[in-house]
Structure 1
Amino acid sequence: MDFRLTEERQMLQDALRRFLADTVTPEGIVEATGTATGFAPALWEQLTELGLPGAMFTEEQGGFGGAGFDLMVVFEELGRAGLSVPLVETVLSGALLDAAGMPVDDLAGGQILALAHTEPAARYDLNRVDTRAERTAEGWRVIGQKAVVHHAPAAKAILLTARTSGAADAEEGISLFLVTPADVTLRDYPLQGGGRAAELTIDATLPESALIGPAGTAFDALQTAHARATAALCAEALGMMETVKTLTVDYLRQRRQFGQPIGKFQALQHRMADVLIEIEQARSAVINLCGNLDGPDRDLHVSATKNLIGRTARLVVEEAIQMHGGIGMTMEYALGHFAKRLTMVDHRFGDTDYHLERFIRQAKSRAS
């Protein structure tokens, strides 16, 4: 099988890698995290001009990509730079709006929409939606709370899920609403791995037009959106692991002890070889997932890959810090940022334990 990139994807990868290498610095990431939006708006505009949001969508949707490998190319390069921008939110929002038959041209042009779905008691269960929406004479009365809404402070609008009917743990009855920041109360904060998120509280009456798509039918679209976003996040983690590997190899070549670089010590060579093997295995898993995003076994591949990425990222970070020694624990050194960001990646869209259990459940259901 030929795993080489198409000419268009290779051009996008080369252009993005050069741009990020010339533009992004660890100091700039830390500075951007402390701003009101959690990222540099000027940099996001430049990335939009390069066409990154458009690569998330097909030509019919107003973009020029949209396939799993387009996601992989873009997010791996963002991961190499350790950059936090609201592109995962573009993937999530685009899949939801497209499923509802709504245009995504504005998203392809760089508009930021946040998704408010996770709730304080939900853990990683997409079915668990306690926020309620009831139809009234004025529209929809929506009451509830959402947790860790990524990039909410920078969003022009927010896609919010609420249950319009059914039991609290049923797939039926989950609806999608488009709300403005004026409709909700946000308490925002910086994230450990860069960027900002917010806790959201809503107690408002929304107009009938706020409902996106038919009431009670958003669950399948949520699954599709989270599958695509998880693939993007796994590709981003792969890029971060590549940078951690490069930082570690460079350090082993430069750090000298007993009159020679420590990279010549056989024990460290063996440990580094294990890291290289695990990263290549993770790359194969991400390629496999991106090639099966539209297949019947999509969710099985999602859980298998997210579990593997979480375990591999932990090994890579721990080995890198061990081989760096004390400097690897300092935030002044670039490794510290990548270590925190990789740790946080494991907790978004389900951690290793959650996806292991989910994989087992799905494998059993297919075998029965």
Structure 2
Amino acid sequence: MDFNTTDEQTMLRDTVSRYLADTYSFDARQKTVHGGKGWNPDVWKAFAEELGILGAPFSEAHGGLGGGAIENMIVMEEIGRALVIEPYLSTVVIGGGFLKAAGGGNADAVIPQIIGGQVLIAFAYAEPQARYNWGDLRTTARKDGSGYVINGHKAVVRDASFATHYIVTTRTAGGQRDRDGVSVFIVPADTAGITRRDYPTVDGGTASEVYFENVRVDADQLLGDADAGLPLVEQVIDEATAAICAEACGVTRVLHATTLDYAKQRKQFGKPIGDFQVIQHRLVDMFMEVEQAVSITLMATLKLDTAERAAAVSAAKSKVGKACKFVGQNAVQIHGGIGISNELAVGHYFKRSTMIEGQFGSVDHHLGRYERLTIG
């Protein structure tokens, strides 16, 4: 395997890093968080028009840069470094992932609008009873003439409050937990019958409970084949899981660097606490966790288009989840009480790392999945 990035990929990283360093300060982020919208449209416009990064993983035929999973990994790591709350994950990685895999008219129509910044997507997949079983669905799509009627409730739909479209997983046939009978639709957010209850998340984002009551959709809003959508859902969630592992690498890099800097400045007993061996050992352990997370994330990303995808992603998520917990908790511990205050950035990085631990599957879930896939 070639672990070196191309000149274009290096340029992409440098471009995103410089823009975020210049314009996306912690104070600017907090202003957006407290503004109530859940995102900054000006930042999203800059992503689309100034930087062009919304097209990074899309083909040139759709107006993109011709990249793929590695480009998403690069952007997501920089998003983690700056603690960006704008919906790159839900719109580009997840929404774009479904559209690229499904192809057809929806891809041709919607992907250029994602690249241009006009379409924002929220992924409505989670249900209160399902936990990490993506095929456990009470939301139904009943065939009605040439289309379908959707009824159900989706929980903790991130970015739904400002999305223009939802990607919705539904049960169109079979029992509640059957692998067969799952279908995926792309639904405009303003479709009649959709209601929401919005709320903030602990990591500065927004989420919603989304309710579908007799929501009528056309058959051409299907992504992929009817009744056979679960493999597509699993594929895209694996891609999204690899992407948040990359985000976690950015988050934990900052947690370690910030804590190291603090240990050099904070004095106790007449000298910096970083001079004490126990703190030095802790910082080295944090550094090792970060570097191992970076390596296994790259491995998982490189295997997304292979038969080893699922096992590689679960291996990465279980390792990265442990790193998030270890690095985040030790960053707070070394900082002391100020480490969890709203005024200091490290507490907000800790909150995001904690959320990443459980997003798309906990450490225990992915360890169990890895065991099933590799041992049987």
Relative to the length of structure 2, the TM-score reads 0.93
Partner deviation per Cα, 1:289-333 (whole Å, 9 max, x = no partner): 111111111000110100101101100011111111121121110
Match of 1:29, SS state, is helix
Q: Residues 237 and 65 of structure 1: is their aligned pair in 2 closer, same or farther, counting only changes over 3 Å?
A: farther
Q: Is the partner of 1:34 in helix, strand or coil? A: helix
Matched residue type, 1:41: P
SS at match of 2:30: helix
Partner of 1:168: 176
Q: Are 2:143 and 1:132 equivalent residues in the alignment?
A: no
Conserved in 2, the CA contact under 8 Å of 1:56 and 1:108? no
Quick one: which amino acid aligns to residue 213 of structure 2?
D
Corresponding residue number in structure 2 for 1:107 = 114
Identify the residue that residue 156 of structure 1 maps to in structure 2. Answer: 164
1:246 is matched with: 257
Q: Secondary structure at the match of 2:336?
A: helix
Q: 1:36 and 1:331, CA in 2 relative to 1: closer, same or farther beyond 3 A?
A: closer
> Shift of residue 345 of structure 1?
0.9
Larger RCO of the pair (alpha carbons < 8 Å, separation 6+): 1
> Partners of 1:126 and 1:305 in 2: how far apart?
19
Of 258, 262, 265, which aligns to 2:273? 262
Asked if 2 retains the 8 angstrom alpha-carbon contact of 1:95 and 1:221, the reply is no
Distance 1:318 1:175, change over 3 A: same
Q: Deviations over 1:250-295 (max 9, x none)?
A: 1011112233222111111111111111111111101111111111
Query: Cα deviation per residue 1:73-103 (whole Å; 9 max; x = unaligned)?
Result: 1111110001111111121111212222232
- Give the CA deviation at 1:61: 4.0
Structure-1 residue corresponding to 2:41: 41
Please name the residue that 1:217 is paired with: 228
- Which letter maps to 1:273? V
CA distance in 2, matches of 1:319, 1:207: 49
Structure 1: gaps spanning 5 or more residues: none
Asked if 2 retains the 8 angstrom alpha-carbon contact of 1:116 and 1:161, the reply is: yes
Structure-2 separation of matches of 1:360 and 1:60: 40
Match of 1:142 in 2: 150
Is this contact kept in 1: 2:324–2:356, CA < 8 A? no
In structure 2, the residue matched to 1:19 is 19
Change (3 A) 1:343 1:52: same
Aligned partner (choices 191, 197, 201) of residue 191 of structure 1: 201
AA at the equivalent of 1:194: G
Distance in structure 2 (CA, Å) of the matches to 1:27 and 1:85: 15
What one-letter code is carried by the residue in structure 1 that aligns with 2:311?
A: L
Q: Give me the whole-angstrom Cα distance separating, in 1, the residues matched to 2:272 and 2:83.
A: 27
1:70 counterpart = 2:51 = no
Alignment of 1:29 with 2:64, yes or no, is: no
For the 8 Å contact 1:138–1:207, the answer to whether it is kept is no
Aligned length: 365
Q: Distance in 1 between matches of 2:263 and 2:316?
A: 30
1:233 and 2:244 matched:
yes
Q: Does 1:323 align with 2:334?
A: yes
- Structure 1 distance, partners of 2:37, 2:305, is 33
Matched residue SS, 1:324: helix
CA contact (8 A) 1:29 1:39 kept: no
Q: What SS does structure 2 have at the residue aligned with 1:346?
A: helix
Q: Aligned pair 1:310/2:312, yes or no?
A: no
Match of 1:280 in 2: 291
The answer to whether the Cα contact below 8 Å between 2:81 and 2:250 also exists between their aligned partners in 1 is yes
Task: Determine if contact 1:115/1:158 at 8 Å carries over to the other structure.
Answer: yes
Contact 1:37/1:151, CA 8 A, preserved across alignment: no
Q: CA deviation at 1:207?
A: 3.7
* Conserved? CA contact 1:36–1:153, under 8 Å: no
Residue 59 (structure 2) aligns with: 58
C-alpha displacement of 1:130: 1.2
The answer as to whether partners of 1:237 and 1:345 remain within 8 angstroms in 2 is yes
Task: Give the equivalent residue in structure 2 for 1:91.
Answer: 93
The amino acid that maps onto 2:307 is P
**Identity percentage over the alignment?**
39
